[in-house]
């Protein structure tokens, strides 16, 4: 009787896993802006809606928007120049740039659909507009690369896999595999965004070498106790610098 029940559980698990793979394959498409094949479950309109809905809450978590209109105007000017001189202008996304009041958290991030944020803690450490362009260009790369969309889709895929695997007591293993894959994908997203950021900087007339300075700022902020790369969604700054140099060589003399 127990063997019969186990066989039924195996069949259920296989059916759920097969469903997850078939659904994921049906969601795969080529990103027209990067040429990358991705599993995507949200339309651009859905991405924009998620970003607009989430933006006020994200700003609130970081002390709201910075009150200095001159600083905000600079962020807007640099961000819009990057968009208007690149393929980002041809996307359906509605890019908006926000300077956050947070003076402690050195960070910048993008929500799906074009809502882009930089904290004052990071803004205040940047040495010139080129470095600001490097930060914002990287975040535009996340939006254009549809990275949040892809991660949401992949997370849902692994949730279904874990649900099916739990029928044969393998749900924990599936969850660990999913977490490992998401970390790997996250590091890939960061490197792709760095490369796109370099491309956008060159198109807009900014010095892409200054993105290396941004990496030095981030490395110094993380300190000697930064999380090892294999445990982090972000590649080690040294690895990012190497890839940025490769991207500069690739795009600097490109037509």
CA–CA separation, 90 vs 107, rounded Å? Answer: 27
Over residues 160-164, the mean pLDDT reads: 61
- Containing structural domain, residue 94: 2-252
pLDDT value for 220: 86
Per-chain mean pLDDT for the chain: 82
- Of the ranges 5-14, 69-78, 175-184, 218-227, which one carries the lowest mean pLDDT score? 175-184
pLDDT tops 70 at residue 164: no
pLDDT tops 90 at residue 131: yes
Instruction: Compute CA distances 160 → 21, 46, 55, 108, 167, whole Å.
Output: 10, 22, 29, 31, 12
pLDDT tops 90 at residue 165: no
Over residues 37-52, the mean pLDDT reads: 88
pTM for the structure as a whole: 0.78
For the segment 74-103, what is each residue's pLDDT rounded down to a tens digit? 999 999 999 999 999 999 999 999 999 999
Longest distance between any two alpha carbons in the chain, whole Å: 74
pLDDT tops 70 at residue 190: yes
What confidence tier does 182 reach under pLDDT thresholds 50, 70, 90?
very low
CA–CA separation, 21 vs 139, rounded Å? Answer: 30
Number of domains in the chain: 1
List phi, psi (to 5°) of 65: -80, 150
- Of the ranges 125-134, 204-213, 246-255, which one carries the lowest mean pLDDT score? 246-255
DSSP 76-90: HHHHHHHHHTSGGGG
pLDDT tops 90 at residue 9: no
Closest by CA position to 201, among listed 118, 77, 72, 78: 78
């Amino acid at each position: 009787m127990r063997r019969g029940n186990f066989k039924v559980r195996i069949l259920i698990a296989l059916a759920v896993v097969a469903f997850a793979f078939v659904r994921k394959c049906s969601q795969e498409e080529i990103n027209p802006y990067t040429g990358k094949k991705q599993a995507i479950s949200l339309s651009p309109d859905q991405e924009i809606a998620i970003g607009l809905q989430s933006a006020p809450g994200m700003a609130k978590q970081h002390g709201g928007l910075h009150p200095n209109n001159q600083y905000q105007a600079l962020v807007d000017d640099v961000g819009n120049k990057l968009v208007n001189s690149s393929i980002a202008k041809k996307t359906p996304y509605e890019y908006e740039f926000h300077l956050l009041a947070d003076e402690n958290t050195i960070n910048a991030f993008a929500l799906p659909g074009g809502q882009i944020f930089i904290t004052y803690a990071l803004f205040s450490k940047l040495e010139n507009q080129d470095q600001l362009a490097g930060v914002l260009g990287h975040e535009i790369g996340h939006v254009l690369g549809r990275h949040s969309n892809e991660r949401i889709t992949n997370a849902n895929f692994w949730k279904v896999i874990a649900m099916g695997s739990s029928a044969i007591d393998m749900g924990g293993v599936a969850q660990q595999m999913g977490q490992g894959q998401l970390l790997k994908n996250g590091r890939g997203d960061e490197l792709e965004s760095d490369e796109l950021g370099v491309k956008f900087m060159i198109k807009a007339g900014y010095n892409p070498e200054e993105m290396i300075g941004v990496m030095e700022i981030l490395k110094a902020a993380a300190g000697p106790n930064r999380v090892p790369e294999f445990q982090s969604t972000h590649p080690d700054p040294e690895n990012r610098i190497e890839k940025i140099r490769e991207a500069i060589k690739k795009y600097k003399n490109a037509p």
